[in-house]
Structure 1
């Protein structure tokens, strides 16, 4: 997900597009833009880079365990087929 500073930066860019005659409304618009951006991003159900990295590492460890278990099962099956 985007961090708070990035959202603030986008909100400021949107506010800068407001005509100068509406300068008094700029703070309200900035707040509203910020809130709308945050709500939109929350609905996308994005994960942070850190969450993604943790899940990637967990998946890699799980994959390694599955590979090892598959290897062991194959060895046991081979032993059983030989009658050991």
Structure 2
């Protein structure tokens, strides 16, 4: 009996790159007119908060969460392959008897 392979990733999530988020916030902050530069740092912080909150609603995941889930997937695939090999060995043993 062969086990049907499953789809790699039925629903992929995008990753939130903190460096990109910081870069976007700085770019928006830099676009603020010079007359209000004294509030640029505060605005940058608020922009980052808003971006983070909106991106969270879009099913984005952090790099850390992605890396953890990637490792879980690797271990799961290894276990699946080991079980498939054991099953194949048992089936071939049964057919020779």
Q: Same fold (TM over 0.5)?
A: yes
Q: Structure 2: where are the runs of 5+ without partners?
A: 1-15
Q: 1:53 to 1:32 in 2, by over 3 A?
A: closer
When the two chains are superposed, the root-mean-square deviation of aligned CA atoms in Å is: 2.5
Q: Structure 1: where are the runs of 5+ without partners?
A: none
Tell me the TM-score normalised to structure 2 length.
0.60
Rg bigger for which structure?
1
Q: Does 1:47 align with 2:53?
A: no
**Distance of 1:9 and 1:57 partners within structure 2:** 28
Q: Give the 4+ runs in structure 1 shifted more than 2 A.
A: 5-13, 18-36
**Distance of 2:67 and 2:40 partners within structure 1:** 38
- Higher relative CO (Cα under 8 Å, sequence separation at least 6) belongs to 2
Tell me the TM-score normalised to structure 1 length.
0.67
Please state which structure has a larger fraction of its residues in strand: 2
Please state which structure has a larger fraction of its residues in helix: 1
